[in-house]
Amino acid sequence: MQKVTELEGELQRSERRAQKLYNELEATNEELQSSNRELLASNEEMQSTNEELQSVNEELYTVNNEFQRKNDELNAINNDINNLLKSTQISTIFVDKQLNIRRFTPGIGQQFDLTVSDLGRPLTVFASPFRDVNIEAISREVLRTTKRYDQEVQDSTGDYYLLRMLPYLTETDQVEGVVITFVDINDLVRTRRRLTDMARKYEAIFHTTQEVIAIVRNNSRIEDVNRPLADYTTQQLVGMYLTDLIDDAQGKVQFTEALRQSFDQRRVERLTLTLRPRQGEVTRVEMEFIPIAVKPAAEPARDTVEQAMIIIRDITSLENERLESSQVIQHYEYLLSNSPQIAGLFDTDERLIFLNRRSGLAYQAPHYMNRKIGDMLTPAGLQRYRTAVERLQAGEPLVAVTYPIEELSEETVPLTVVYRPIFSRDRIVLISFEIEQTD
């Protein structure tokens, strides 16, 4: 009985231990389940974080590619700029606000002896090769005003440059320095001097010549004129149409056609017309049309005619003299035609313009007409003739000259020729002659 009681007590203790173990097992199981749930939650969080990291990694990859592309573009642009700076003929220096050198083109060596080691050094420590040009003061003025500065400068060797300074601006228009350029303008200066010299010569000719020179448009509108014409002053002529000064309708048509040819065909045209002045008699003039070609800035390879220069010569007196001379010639031709001797006329160019038809020479009269006396005489005979003319010009009324056969080019017998002067307006215009054959 006691044994049973001990066993029961032992059983109860075992049951309590078992219950306690069961309870502990249950608690442990619950803890394990809780830990498992926490692990699952952590796993989900880690998976989510992993997905986020994957997304960030993809974004970083995209950004890296974009950065690489931008870097390639930046390198290409940098290479383009470097090649541009090397190839350009314009010398350029980039300086910051303190006038320290940031960058320069290779061509700047013509003005400043700079090397790569000079980057960052103040520009002011280098001697300026330009006369009377304070680069530092000008640079600081550009920094202060942010306005462009241009000036033609000459260096110590005599070369000319266009000095240009501009503010160095950022994308936000902040001034971060100055861009200094030197453009070689030697050709421009030489061309300008040549054009200036030509302009002076043109002005001298335009204003000192005795002929009237008018600059006109294709509609004959006068834009400039150097002398009065047809009783109009130069001020009155500017703005007038030259066709309005022409006396007759036919002359207007001829003038318009000559002007059109000058503009369209670029030909030098000549024309004789009559002008009707405001008062007095009509004036006979000779006009010479000269096209003025210019090269448009938009198309320098092609030139156009925008104006014409018309040189106007008053030939009224000349035509009157020609008329008088013609009348004199006709008068003496009539007189000499009736002369019993061989007779004729030489003009002042030593050309035979008339010979009566008397016989006695080696050839008939047409053979000699319009030939110069030098064709009929040897050099010695020609000298005799010219000496005779000089004596007539000195005032002798007549001069007789005997030509031996040796001084005659075509005649077969010696000739004695009597020369007389023929005057018009107190000057010799013709030389008459009569021939006597010498046995």
- 8 A C-beta contact, residue 288 and residue 311: yes
Kindly report the CA angle at 234 between 232 and 238, in degrees rounded to 5? 100
For residue 371, the model assigns a pLDDT of: 93
For residue 372, the model assigns a pLDDT of: 94
For residue 87, the model assigns a pLDDT of: 65
For residue 352, the model assigns a pLDDT of: 93
- Angstrom CA distances, 289 to 208, 234, 251, stand at 19, 19, 15
For residue 383, the model assigns a pLDDT of: 95
Q: Tokens 């952590």 belong to which residue?
A: 42
Q: Same CATH topology for 88-189 and 209-314? A: yes
3-state SS, residue 421: strand
Class of domain 209-314: alpha beta
Residues 171 and 179: their CA atoms lie apart, in Å, by 15
Which residues 6+ apart lie within 8 Å of 244 measured at CB? none
- φ, ψ for residue 270, nearest 5 deg: -130, 145
Report the chain's C-alpha Rg in angstroms.
Answer: 55
For residue 299, the model assigns a pLDDT of: 60
CATH topology of domain 320-437: Beta-Lactamase (3.30.450)
For residue 88, the model assigns a pLDDT of: 63
Sign (positive/negative) of CA torsion 171, 173, 176, 181? positive
pLDDT in tens, the chain (439 residues): 677 777 777 878 887 887 888 887 888 888 888 888 888 888 888 888 888 888 888 888 888 888 888 888 888 877 777 676 666 667 888 888 888 888 887 777 667 777 777 788 888 778 778 877 888 888 888 888 889 899 888 888 888 888 899 998 888 888 889 998 888 888 888 888 888 887 787 777 777 778 888 999 999 999 999 888 888 888 999 999 999 999 889 999 999 999 999 888 888 889 989 888 877 778 888 999 989 887 665 565 567 888 899 999 888 887 777 778 788 888 888 888 888 889 999 998 999 989 997 778 888 888 999 999 999 999 999 999 999 999 999 999 999 999 999 999 988 889 999 999 998 878 888 999 999 765 5
Q: To the nearest 10°, the Cα dihedral for 310, 313, 316, 321?
A: -140
- 8 A C-beta contact, residue 419 and residue 398: yes
Q: Does domain 88-189 have CATH number 3.40.50.720?
A: no
Which secondary-structure segment (H or E) carries 161? strand 160-169
Residues 68 and 60: their CA atoms lie apart, in Å, by 12
Domain ranges of the chain: 88-189, 209-314, 320-437
Query: How many other C-beta atoms can be found within 10 angstroms of the C-beta atom of residue 214?
Result: 23
